[in-house]
């Protein structure tokens, strides 16, 4: 049977309704262009109780689904002397407490060795100055020369930071994923 001919919506199923905009949690709604809507993923450091939000601020027909309360950062060290700040996170102007859960991995491209770190830490801010509450709790896994590297979670002013130091003559790549919760 041939399907040639004019499409008639008077008989048979009616074509589905096509959305003309998508309301988002933050920023502008996203508006499809030529019935096309781009939905992409991302991360953001914004504190959000749900751990996820939608954002239409990319403009046009792009809606971003963002995992919130996350810090992702990378760094490279090339010596054993110079401390490198992997990330610095502002604790904000509102007094609050934070619990940070960090997963840090390192790879020494010079000696083909690795290391991994997992830590929990509690931090409080007065809104002007950060304070580390207690000591980090976690685990360290290092092989070979990687036992000579240093990774320190700390406070600088009103910022939570991760600072690493490598090994002389070695190029080491670092990557961290931090998830946090906060209450004020």
Residue 171 sits in the same domain as residue 98: yes
Q: Indicate the SS3 state at residue 136.
A: strand
In a domain, 114, yes or no: yes
Residue 58 sits in the same domain as residue 81: no
Neighbours of 39 (CB within 10 A): 12
Q: Indicate the SS3 state at residue 132.
A: strand
Domain boundary among 5, 40, 68: 68
pLDDT at 136: 82
Residue 82 sits in the same domain as residue 63: no
Domain that residue 98 falls in: 71-183
pLDDT at 135: 83
Largest CA distance in the chain: 79
Q: Are strands 150-156 and 70-77 parallel, antiparallel or unpaired?
A: unpaired
In a domain, 1, yes or no: no
pLDDT at 12: 65
Residue 113 sits in the same domain as residue 177: yes
Distances (CA, A) of 134 to 49, 68, 154, 157, 163: 25, 26, 12, 17, 18
> What pLDDT band is residue 20 in, cutting at 50, 70 and 90?
confident
Q: What's the mean per-residue pLDDT of the chain?
A: 92
Nearest to 170 by CA among 76, 75, 79, 74: 79
Percent of the chain residues topping a pLDDT of 70? 92
pLDDT at 28: 83
pLDDT in tens, 106-163: 999 999 999 999 999 999 999 999 999 988 888 999 999 999 999 999 999 999 999 9
């Amino acid at each position: 049977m041939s399907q040639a001919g004019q499409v008639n919506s008077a008989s048979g199923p009616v074509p589905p309704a096509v959305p003309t905009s998508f309301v988002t949690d933050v920023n502008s709604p996203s508006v499809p262009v030529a019935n096309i809507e781009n939905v992409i993923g991302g991360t953001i450091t914004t504190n959000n109780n749900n751990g996820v939000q939608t954002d239409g601020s990319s403009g046009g027909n792009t809606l971003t689904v963002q995992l919130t309360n996350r810090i992702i950062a990378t760094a490279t060290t090339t010596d054993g002397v110079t401390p490198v700040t992997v990330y610095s996170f502002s604790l904000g102007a509102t007094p609050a407490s934070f619990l940070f859960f960090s997963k840090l991995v390192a790879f020494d491209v010079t000696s083909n060795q690795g290391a991994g770190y997992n830590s929990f830490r509690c931090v409080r801010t007065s809104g002007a100055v950060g304070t580390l509450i207690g000591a980090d709790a976690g685990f360290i896994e290092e092989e070979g020369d990687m036992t000579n590297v240093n990774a320190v979670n700390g406070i600088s002013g009103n910022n939570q930071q991760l600072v690493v130091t490598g090994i002389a003559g070695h190029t080491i790549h670092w990557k961290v994923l931090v998830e946090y919760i906060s209450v004020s």
